[in-house]
Structure 1
Amino acid sequence: MTFVKAKLLIERMAPGETAEIWLKGWEPIENVPRSIRELGHEILNMTRIADNDPLGLHRLLICKK
């Protein structure tokens, strides 16, 4: 998921609501969590899902502030 899609998701959420975002590829893994923090939201957890996936599939859990 790109940051634009993540931002659209966050805009539809109520404050305090959580969401799960799946990231694949090194650029989204680096940029999406950083950008979410810069907007003032909280990263609850980020977990690598597939160790055998060369693009690095990750699960990101966020909370809207």
Structure 2
Amino acid sequence: MACLFERAQALEQRQREQAISAQLATVQPSGPSRTHCKDCEEPIPEERRALGGKTRCTPCQSLFERPQR
């Protein structure tokens, strides 16, 4: 029975590593962030702008990413 759990754990670890690698391979925006969202023109919170390269507020970014999933 332990073998089944070990295989499941190894599979989970592989999937986690693949997901991390895929995320790290995506191009991350850099440079200065906009002060207002390019879609809805609402202010982008300072905490989000501090990450660099942000052009959308969190709700608009979520909507933008949804079709790509």
Give the shorter-chain TM-score range.
under 0.3
More strand by share: 1
| TM-score (normalizing by structure 1) | 0.24
| TM-score (normalizing by structure 2) | 0.23
Q: Of the two structures, which has the highest relative contact order with CA contacts closer than 8 Å and spacing of 6 or more? A: 1
